[in-house]
Amino acid sequence: MHGPTQRILLVYTGGTIGMKESPQGLIPVSVDDLLEQLPDLGSLPLELSLCSLDQPMDSSDLQPRHWQEMGSLIAGKADEFDGFLVLHGTDTMAYSSAALSFMLQQLNKPVIFTGSQLPLSHPRSDAGSHLMSALELASACNSDGSPKIPEVTLYFNHQLYRGNRVRKIHALGFDAFDSPNFPVLARAGTRMVISEEVIGQGMPVPDRTESVTKGMRWRPELDTAVGSIKCIPGMSGKALDKYLKDMDFKVLLLEAYGTGNIPNDTTLLDALRSMVARGGQVVALSQCLGGRVDLNQYQAGRRLLDLGALEGKDISFEAALTKSMHLLGCGVPDFAEAFGRSLAGEIS
């Protein structure tokens, strides 16, 4: 699985994996304290370097600017390292991995996110096994020296997921993540099994002239004028209209029922139609973990089509949010067209 010694950059952002107890509960430790807790990594054929965000933090405090910070660390070292491992808290790890899948274009090197449900210092911690397996995957290469997994991914509980297909589904269990609409990329047991047929599946074919002449493209631009709302019984269309006008969102992620269904409520439909008329975008997502949006299936879904909403297809909420911020930040001329096609394997 491994060729020559691989150079891996470990990016520490904080999170449970490096936390310690305090009177206020678990808090992130410094990068120096983390180094003292790391297990012996000498069994893997790699050269490991470590860097950190300016301030390691609980991932619930992470903001879009921190995606830019961690992405900039990786983009700035793209030519120096063969792979990257991001240590991250679980609460927003799916958002960060999705965001970097759009911001690091044509990187062609592994970027693996991992974390843990218990700190490294805990006797039953899952942190050590996650770290070791993620490093093994980050350094895995083909016979020609090329990386086996040149994607942004997330490793947790013995499984490797595509970074923009994964969701956190459990607050306490070790099985904290799942990828309902896309198969896992690898499984760790007594040996590591990589599903090579899944690697790169659904990824767009890069423009040959761009990929040859420009290589990796770092696109840090983000526009956070994206809102979301979950459809609920008794939802007030008048309140929604005021909310949308006050917040002046450019994109609204509407978590509808099932395949994209919403109530037949005139005030609700008028509020959404008014947003589209002002030049905004309404993206229909499903509240369900698995499956896909199909606005043609039911009359209740066609209401959204009629007012100009976009189908989210089988995209996750985390990927829809970060993709929208990315597209708005890049100033694409046709948001609907760009959102509807796969940029990094995030939709089928």
Evaluate whether 167 touches 20 at the Cβ level (below 8 Å): no
CA neighbours within 13 Å on the CB side: how many for 215? Answer: 4
Query: Using an 8 Å Cβ cutoff, are 114 and 156 in contact?
Result: yes
User: For residue 15, what are the contacts with CB-CB under 8 A and spacing of at least 6?
Assistant: 28, 56, 58, 59, 87, 88, 89, 90, 93, 115, 116
- Do 302 and 296 form a contact (C-beta atoms < 8 A)? yes
- Looking only at the bridges linking them, the beta strands covering 177-178 and 167-168 are antiparallel
User: Residue 46, SS3?
Assistant: strand
Phi, psi angle pair for 269, to nearest 5°:
-65, -40
Beta pairing partners, 194: 186
Which residues are designated catalytic? 16
129: enclosing H helix or E strand: helix 127-138
- As a dihedral over the C-alpha atoms of residue 281, residue 283, residue 284, residue 286, rounded to 10 degrees, the angle is -150
Instruction: Give backbone dihedrals phi and psi of 305, rounded to 5 degrees, phi first.
Output: -60, -45
DSSP-derived pairing of the beta strands 226-230 and 217-218: unpaired
The residues, ordered by sequence, that sit 6+ positions from 321 with a Cβ below 8 Å of its Cβ are 95, 98, 226, 228, 253
